[in-house]
Amino acid sequence: MSSQSQYGGDSNMQSKQSASSSEKHVEKASTPGRRAEKKLRAGVLGATGIVGQRLVSLLAGHPWFELTEVAASERSSGKTYAEAVRWHLDAPIPQVARNLVVKGLDPSLDCDFVFSALDSSVAGPAEEDFARAGYPVVSNCRNHRMDPDVPLLIPEVNAAHLDAIPWQQKNRGYDTGFIVTNPNCSTAGLVLVLKPLADAFGLEKIFVVTLQAISGEEEKMEAEPQKLLGKWDGSRFVDAGIGLSAHCNRVPVIDGHLECISVGLKKIASLDEVREAIRNFEVDAELASLPTALRNPVVVLDEENRPQPRRDVHAGNGMAAVVGRIRECPLLDVKLTLLSHNLVRGAAGAALLNAELLAARGFLKHRVTSSESHLAEPVSQ
């Protein structure tokens, strides 16, 4: 995805392709008003990795955020970003990032909040260090997803879980810092599609098999939806209590997680009712105002051979889940096929959307830097 395509300006290479039926069904949320006169400054931890690169690309031209810091391992520290990164995306390195000097993981970055795309081997303590130092941490890493005081967030599914942030800050002794995570790439699309079914009919059992571009862990896919579809009761997260079995498989696909799902519903529903519940899933006005949000984040296709990774993975700039082949299941109630972009909806785009919701709700604020603090000091008489 290019740095401009999502927020206006030139379209990226992918959107120049002939529009598929999945794209035709995607409606972008209404153009957001300007959140504030001064953009919030974002840092990216793990900026040289593949998810970090996606975040760097998505932040270029963002209406609310500006990229001011990139951080990575010690071997990259001191180099410019263009020198340090082995760039994998089709679009070039954004100009705003090219000459930024890569810094280490010391929590003294000149930014208001950080995205974490770190390797799990270092993410856990590093994210805690930044939160302890007062930085909100919007994490794509697995380390803190299942912590009992950390929101595991998909804004269209469980925005209310942000109510846990004050509890986390009190529990951990954080001041302005905190940690919010997004789920793993295979869970992200699954739960986005399960949400309208849970609301309309209730869920009893789920069986899912993935054919995914990047390997995932089955235990995460079985555990994370319980937290996402559960509730925050004021002091803890209460699991949804759904029976869920997952098989995760890696296949030779560049981008896109295809998932075959069978669902047992609590209420009897026809296929048409199921189809309409998914098709009509729409975000509220608050979410519709976010720059990365889609008004209808799930696209339903009627063709028998869709979705397909090569044709449908970029629906909604990679933020839509695409559903097809909705039919009766002889073991449970309904089965369907879904597709989502593992690096956008399942990683960088998910973290960006989480940050936008945090900003809209006032959880992200301008930090006073040391230079600004010095300028603000009264002049001695």
Round to whole Å and give the CA distance between 92 and 65.
Answer: 20
Phi, psi of 68 (to 5 degrees): -120, -15
> In sequence order, which residues have a C-beta less than 8 Å from that of residue 33 and are 6 or more positions away?
289
Catalytic residue among 25, 257, 314, 341: 257
Q: In what order do the strands lie in the sheet with 40-45?
A: 102-103, 65-71, 40-45, 113-116, 136-139, 178-181
Is 88 marked active-site? no
User: 176: how many CB neighbours lie within 10 A of its CB?
Assistant: 16
- Is it true that the peptide bond before 307 is cis, omega within 30 degrees of 0? yes
Residue type present at position 375? L
Q: Which of 218, 220, 224, 226 is nearest to 247 (CA)?
A: 218
Catalytic residue among 185, 248, 314, 341: 185
Is 257 marked active-site? yes
Using the Cα atoms of residue 179, residue 182, residue 185 and residue 186 in order, give the sign of their dihedral: positive
Say if strands 231-232 and 321-328 run parallel, antiparallel, or are unpaired.
Answer: unpaired
Matching residue, tokens 């997004």: 182
CA angle 351, 354, 357 (to 5 degrees): 155
Residues forming the active site = 185, 257
